[in-house]
Structure formats: C-alpha cells, structure tokens
Amino acid sequence: MGFLKTCVLRNTCTAVCFWRSQVVQKPSVRRISTTSPRSSVMPAWVIDKYGNNEVLRFTQNMAIPMIHYPNEVIIKVHAASVNPIDVNMRSGYGATALNMKRDPLHIKIKGEEFPLTLGRDVSGVVMECGLDVRYFKPGDEVSHKPKSLTHTQAASLPYVALTAWSAINKVGGLNDKNCAGKR
C-alpha cells in the first residue's frame, strides 16, 4: 500500500494589521504532494522519432497523461486498436497539425512530442474528468460501451464505424434530415 508523502514548507511572512496598527509575524504553511495517489506510469506502444516499424517500442514506464484542459478525460485503457491513421502517424502524418494544437505559440522545441503513444481507438474506464466534462464521470465505460461488447470488440469499432458513417453521409448523401424511412 502506497502512502501519500507530503512536505511542509515553512517560512515566516509578515502581516500588517492596518486597523490595529500592528505588525504580526506568522508562519505560512503550504503542503505539497510528492507522490500521486494513483499510479504514475502505464504500459504503451510508443515512438521516439518518426519512421517505419523499427521505431516502435513497447514500454512499461510511459508517464500517465495529465488533464490540461477542462474538456479532457483520463481513461484507463483496457483495449486499444491501431488503425491506418496510427500507422501513418508513425511515419509523421499529421505531425504539423498535432504540434500546432499542442503548442499554438511555438514555444516548445521540435521533437518534444516524443515519446508519442499510438492507438487512438480505445475502450476502457474513465478515471478522471476535466471541470467542463458533463457527459462522462469517473467509472463510466467509454464510449458508454454496450454491456454486450467486450473492451476488445469496442476498441475495434471507432475507425470502422466512422468510415462507414462517412461513406453513408458524404457519398450516399444521407443525413438526419433526409434519411427517415430509408434503408
């Protein structure tokens, strides 16, 4: 069982009490956590540079991501699938767009996106939610997975389902306004 370690930083600050015309010395105490209450690493397939299959590396020690924006969630992944986009990302596809999203002000140095975790289609359980997340809560199976599907089955569906929907919508011209009664 892990214990949460805390440090107490003490320094003396001076507070001035204007209504009493007094100077009061009082210590300020700030607690800082030095360990996370949850595991801080996870297993993952990652790349450390763009290239072919030789750049793929399996690690047991990938840092668990943190929530940076209020609309993000952290998922404990039970199953992941690698789709054609992941394969292309391994060789650099989308790097410019992803880096612009991660670093719109171009503050970071080129190459800081590594190690990059592959496998965008996942099934698992929500661990944490950002402050603006209303659709999910910790403990929910994503994406509100039907109970009849295993996590492996659910992880294999997103890319396939979106490809089929795109074909029906873009090529077939069907949408929510014109498909009533059609098969």
Would you say 69 and 130 are in contact if contact means Cβ atoms under 8 Å apart? yes
Q: Is 181 among the domain residues?
A: no
Residue 139: give the domain boundaries.
3-8+38-170
Q: Is 182 among the domain residues?
A: no
Q: Is 31 among the domain residues?
A: no
Q: What is the CATH number of the domain that holds 140?
A: 3.90.180.10
Model confidence over 53-85: pLDDT tens digits? 999 999 999 999 889 889 999 999 999 998 888
Supply the pTM of this predicted model: 0.67
Model confidence over 106-131: pLDDT tens digits? 777 776 788 988 888 999 999 999 99
| Number of structural domains the chain divides into | 1
Q: Is 123 among the domain residues?
A: yes
Helices (H), 56-178: 84-90, 95-102, 151-155, 158-166
